[in-house]
């Protein structure tokens, strides 16, 4: 597992050695960031990496210019690997690692982020609800994006607060990009 582009290009990251943790494949990660580069200027962005695992998506964002990344994972094995990868890359001044259940974190989070990566276990039954929770909590600063990697069979139905802006399938994996729907601005008075 390596960083694909940017400051840390070619640097190897330590993986989480546990069969329950599924790291983002390089081709999936590359596709995610190719789509992002056409939509978002990563320089100076604030990023939230939920179900972070080894942190590969957050580290890729840092390598490409993100200012700050918060990594959240409830498993101590994952948070230890993220901390080791932070040391390997020397980016501790631009990261925070939080060992917490993602749902508890979301209930109490108050910061806003420009990008939110969500990579839950494919068998997590509540996965389709995650974008709803993130938007409801107000964690995404407009015009930010949620990038969610999930099982291709998982259906996520946007509601009136957000929309699906892009989607890519990779075999049994799907990556969905969600954005908030901006409220309609008040009509401007017509010139007389």
Domain ranges of the chain: 26-180
Task: For 143-190, write each residue's pLDDT tens digit.
Answer: 899 999 999 999 999 988 899 999 999 999 999 999 987 644 433 333
Task: For 35-71, write each residue's pLDDT tens digit.
Answer: 999 899 999 999 999 999 999 999 999 999 999 999 9
**Burial (Cβ within 10 Å: 0-12, 13-18, ≥19) of residue 108:** exposed
pLDDT band at 21 (very low <50, low <70, confident <90, very high): low
- Decide: helix, strand or coil at residue 99: strand
Rg (CA), the chain: 17
Q: Hey, what are 42's tokens? A: 């990563």
Contact present, 92 and 69 (Cβ < 8 Å): no
The pTM of the full predicted model, rounded to 2 decimals, is 0.91
Contact present, 24 and 84 (Cβ < 8 Å): no
Strand partners, 72: 50, 98
Chain centroid, CA 157 distance in Å: 18
Strand partners, 140: 113
Structural fold of domain 26-180: Rossmann fold (3.40.50)
Task: For 93-120, write each residue's pLDDT tens digit.
Answer: 999 999 999 999 999 999 999 999 999 9
Contact present, 86 and 92 (Cβ < 8 Å): yes
**Contacts with 180 (C-beta within 8 Å, 6 or more apart), sequence order:** 135, 140, 142, 143, 144, 161, 162
């Amino acid at each position: 597992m390596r960083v694909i582009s940017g400051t840390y290009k070619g640097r190897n990251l330590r993986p989480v050695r546990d069969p329950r943790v599924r790291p983002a494949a390089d081709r999936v990660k590359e596709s995610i960031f190719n789509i992002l580069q056409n939509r978002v200027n990563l320089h100076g962005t604030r990023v939230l990496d939920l179900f972070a695992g080894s942190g590969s998506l957050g580290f890729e964002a840092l390598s490409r210019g993100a200012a700050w990344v918060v990594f959240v994972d409830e498993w101590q094995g994952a948070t230890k690997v993220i901390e080791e990868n932070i040391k390997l890359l020397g980016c501790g001044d631009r990261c925070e690692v939080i060992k917490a259940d993602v749902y508890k974190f979301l209930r109490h989070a108050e910061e806003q982020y420009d990008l939110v990566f969500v990579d839950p276990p494919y068998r997590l039954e509540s996965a389709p609800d995650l974008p709803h929770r993130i938007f409801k909590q107000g964690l995404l600063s407009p015009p930010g994006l949620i990038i969610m990697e999930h099982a291709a069979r998982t259906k996520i139905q946007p509601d009136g607060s957000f929309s699906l802006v892009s989607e890519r399938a990779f075999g049994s994996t799907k990556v969905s990009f969600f954005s908030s729907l901006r409220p309609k601005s008040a009509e401007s008075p017509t010139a007389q």
